[in-house]
Amino acid sequence: MTETSVSDRRKGASALEKGHPAAPDSIAPVPDAGSAMGGPSFADEGAPDGASGAAEPGAGVEGAEAIRPDGAKDAGAAAAPAEPVGDALEVPGEDGAGERFFTVGAEAVGLRLDVAVSRALEVSRAQVKKWIEAGRVTVDGRAARPAERLSGGEAIRVRPPAPRPARPRPNALSLRIVYEDAVLAVVDKPPGMSVHPSPGHDDDTLVNALLYHLKALSGIGGELRPGIVHRLDKDTSGLLVVAKTDRAHLALAAQLQARTMKRTYTAVVCGVPAEEVGLIDLPIGRHPVDRKRMAVVPNGRPARTRYRVVRRFRRHSIVEASLETGRTHQIRVHFAAIGHPLVGDPVYGRCRFGAMSRQALHATRLGFRHPETGAWLEFTSPLPPDLTALIDALSKNEA
């Protein structure tokens, strides 16, 4: 088997290797996937995560590295941050908000301070400007101006104001707990469940269910995200690890940051990839026009997805995807970028089949070292009924 590598850093974002279509600088809605492959024409499903058309704020992440406290020599002591802009480390702040620390890397040289911080933390430039003017952003320990240009190597500290949300309520929701001990739990999230509360969506999330089922959760993620180490999109199903203590949270987040936590997904995509095994290596950032979406963009954050084709149909394929990074919507964006959007994805593709009403994506396997014993733990999750039904239908119609 050969491995196809898709990398704009090696190919100048101009083309994908071994016959894949050219990679766009940003992802527009993918052309009608069915008709392009000689199959039926599919319509865009519509707005993601609700009628507003906005992706779930802060929760749309396949295996996110969103909560990354400094690595610890003794599972708690902060190490000196040395990450480029775009990989900020988060630790509890003195006023209750998460403080972010990062060192300016080559990708941010020449940028304005407000632009660099906005990109690193994925918040609006206007909001960052207010923080800077309020003295909540420092450069090498000193106050700075929004328009200050960065030369590289500066140490940036950001102290966002503490949020003032109501504490989530426990909800007696059904929840499959795959594993639980004194410091962590592994849960199997159903599709359609948001990971944590967001504006206008205070109940029926995974956090609400965790508060009901578990006696304790870590507090590092803040009141809205107790225990949440990494996240999945609302309509992505599958495995998540949850921290019950701050010490466990720090250790698990360090594994995410070091990319030693293994996360494998099963997806059904439109079309048949040319190669059985491949690597998609394309940077991901906010869409330049639609800020509610992600896209492959030249100045995006590095993103790498490995995949192998598990089964081929006439016009669709089952793939297994493994994350080397954890960018927002990474798997969905990457497969759309190479011309194989996920079946049912309402945001990054126009490929529908049968009754599948969400992106056909499931977090199948999760592996990590236990934060206290060091033992390697690995868990698997069976495909949910809607994905099983989709594959059965493809087997009958495209055998």
Catalytic center residues:
233
Q: How far apart are CA 148 and CA 145, in angstroms?
A: 5
Q: Which residue has the tokens 């933390």?
A: 121
**Three-point CA angle 128, 282, 62, nearest 5°:** 70
Q: Terminus-to-terminus CA distance in the chain, angstroms? A: 24
Q: Tokens 């003017």 appear where?
A: 133
Cα→Cα distances 313→329, 360, 391, 393, Å: 25, 15, 10, 11
Spatial distance between the Cα atoms of 220 and 228, rounded to a whole number of angstroms: 9
Q: How far is CA 169 from CA 203, 210, 224, 324, in A?
A: 7, 10, 10, 34
Closest among 351, 363, 364 to 316, alpha carbons compared: 351
Closest CA to 119 of 76, 88, 147, 146: 88
Read off the tokens for 313. Answer: 């149909």
Q: How many CB atoms lie within 10 A of CB 21?
A: 12
- For 208, half-sphere exposure in the C-beta direction (CA atoms, 13 angstrom radius) is 17
CA distance 286 to 334: 14
Geometric angle at alpha carbon 163, from 289 and 131, rounded to 5°? 60
- Contacting residues for 51 by C-beta, under 8 A, at least 6 apart: none
